[in-house]
């Protein structure tokens, strides 16, 4: 039996693939090109990993060939592929449609070709599907696993950031709706993993060179900043380590308690000043040389955030999250090593 991971070369997915292989699973991963497939084979060097090409998850029938060929062998599907960037002038084409159509397409292909073999499906959703930025920065709000971002499609087309929130919200909704509507037609049980901002080291050192994935790029930008520059105090939210996000995906398909659940992962709250402070304390070569911010403003921002209670998730996970300092240090140490700035 195999586990299928879509977007297998992504920041989070690489950790997932690595954990699956360590646990002895056979893994089929999808990437967008032969070049990326070759890179995965070179990086993992593991005969239990097969790589297939799905050029664009948004295309109708994008996953058909894959499930037609391997569907009978696939018991678990981890759908991580989804655009996470703000680099677009066409929000529907580049963010909303791939996220939503990609999710529908993979579920449709399972229904068509692997309805009786796939037992568990995990969608990598986001806290963007749990709350809007506005609701997350309202101290009177209490967020739980039952909270939903109430964004409309129209609001989601107003700009790339809104589009990312909308993409994750509508994609996750599509998955729940599909599962409800097809209970008698598919065998699989659905779970979602909804992380807040994910930081942590790249699985492979070489991936820490140059521009990195969207969330870790915020840490890289601080490392590369200059004294006198000001940190963006509007960047505030929750953090969780990529190694914990990967572990949560294992829990999402391995435990019965995860069925039908949204596992919302949040280890704590941060501002960019909190990141800069850890960097200055831990890396003498950065102390006093990078961007800074006002500590009172940072404190005020943290105190203006919504409360959250993800006790149900934490009970199911049954492990402690990696602390903020370790996450930030491990992320930065790898970047500095690769840039030969140790």
Give yes or no for a contact between 187 and 118, defined as CB atoms under 8 angstroms apart: yes
Strand-pair partners of 192:
123, 262
Residue 154 CB, shortest distance to ligand NDP, in Å, is 21
Angstrom CA distances, 115 to 92, 100, 175, 176, 258, stand at 30, 20, 15, 16, 20
Residue 155 CB, shortest distance to ligand NDP, in Å, is 18
- Please identify, using beta-carbon distances, which residue of 151 and 292 lies nearer to ligand NDP: 151
- Please identify, using beta-carbon distances, which residue of 195 and 292 lies nearer to ligand NDP: 195
- Please identify, using beta-carbon distances, which residue of 50 and 292 lies nearer to ligand NDP: 50
Q: Can you tell me whether residue 43 is helix, strand or coil?
A: helix
φ and ψ at 215, to 5 degrees? Answer: -70, -45
Q: What is the DSSP string of 71-111?
A: GGGEEEEEE---------S-HIIIIIHHHHHHHHHHHHHHH
Residue 53 CB, shortest distance to ligand NDP, in Å, is 10
- Please identify, using beta-carbon distances, which residue of 9 and 298 lies nearer to ligand NDP: 9
Residue 126 CB, shortest distance to ligand NDP, in Å, is 4
Q: Are strands 236-241 and 197-199 parallel, antiparallel or unpaired?
A: parallel
- Please identify, using beta-carbon distances, which residue of 36 and 111 lies nearer to ligand NDP: 36
Question: How many whole angstroms separate alpha carbon 183 and alpha carbon 254?
Answer: 20
Residue 309 CB, shortest distance to ligand NDP, in Å, is 19
Give yes or no for a contact between 188 and 120, defined as CB atoms under 8 angstroms apart: yes
Q: Can you tell me whether residue 253 is helix, strand or coil?
A: helix
- Please identify, using beta-carbon distances, which residue of 8 and 114 lies nearer to ligand NDP: 8
- Please identify, using beta-carbon distances, which residue of 100 and 231 lies nearer to ligand NDP: 100
Which residue's CB comes closest to ligand NDP?
10
- Please identify, using beta-carbon distances, which residue of 99 and 292 lies nearer to ligand NDP: 99
Question: How many whole angstroms separate alpha carbon 242 and alpha carbon 244?
Answer: 5
Residue 239 CB, shortest distance to ligand NDP, in Å, is 9
Residue 226 CB, shortest distance to ligand NDP, in Å, is 25
Task: Collect all residues with Cβ–Cβ distance below 8 Å to 51 and sequence separation of at least 6.
Answer: 8, 28, 29, 30, 31, 37, 40, 41
Which residues of the shown chain bind ligand NDP in the complex (CB under 6 A)? 7, 9-13, 32, 36, 54, 56-58, 80-84, 98, 124, 126, 168, 195, 197-198, 213, 215
- Write a three-state SS string for 273-294: HHHHHHHHHHCCCCCCCCCECC
Residue 42 CB, shortest distance to ligand NDP, in Å, is 16
């Amino acid at each position: 039996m195999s586990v299928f991971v879509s977007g297998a070369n992504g920041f989070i997915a690489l950790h997932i693939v690595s954990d699956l292989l360590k646990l002895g699973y056979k893994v089929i991963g999808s990437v967008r090109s032969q070049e990326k497939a070759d890179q995965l084979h070179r990086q993992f060097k593991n005969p239990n990993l097969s790589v297939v090409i799905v050029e664009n998850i948004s295309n109708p029938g994008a996953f058909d060939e894959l499930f037609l060929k391997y569907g009978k062998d696939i018991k678990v599907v981890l759908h991580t592929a989804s655009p996470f960037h703000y680099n677009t002038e066409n929000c529907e084409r580049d963010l909303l449609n791939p996220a939503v159509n990609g999710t529908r397409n993979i579920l449709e292909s399972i229904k068509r070709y692997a309805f009786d073999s796939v037992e568990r499906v995990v969608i990598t959703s986001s806290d963007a599907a749990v709350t809007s930025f506005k609701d997350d920065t309202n101290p009177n709000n209490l967020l739980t696993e039952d909270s939903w971002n109430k964004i409309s499609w129209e609001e989601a087309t107003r700009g790339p950031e809104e589009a990312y929130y909308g993409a994750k919200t509508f994609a996750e909704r599509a998955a729940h709706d599909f599962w409800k509507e097809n209970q008698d037609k598919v065998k699989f049980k659905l779970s979602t993993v909804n992380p807040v901002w994910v930081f942590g080291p790249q699985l492979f050192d070489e991936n820490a060179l140059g521009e990195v994935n969207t969330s870790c790029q915020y840490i890289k930008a601080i490392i590369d900043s200059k004294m006198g520059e000001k940190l963006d105090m509007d960047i505030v939210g929750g953090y969780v380590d990529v190694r914990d996000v990967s572990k949560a995906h294992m829990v999402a398909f391995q435990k019965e308690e995860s069925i039908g659940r949204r596992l919302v992962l949040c280890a704590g709250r941060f501002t960019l000043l909190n990141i800069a402070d850890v960097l200055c304390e831990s890396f003498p070569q950065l102390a006093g040389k990078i961007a800074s911010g006002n500590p009172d403003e940072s404190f005020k921002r943290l105190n203006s955030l919504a409360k959250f209670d993800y006790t149900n998730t934490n009970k199911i996970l049954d492990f402690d999250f990696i602390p903020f300092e370790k996450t930030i240090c491990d992320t930065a140490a790898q970047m500095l090593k690769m840039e030969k700035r140790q």
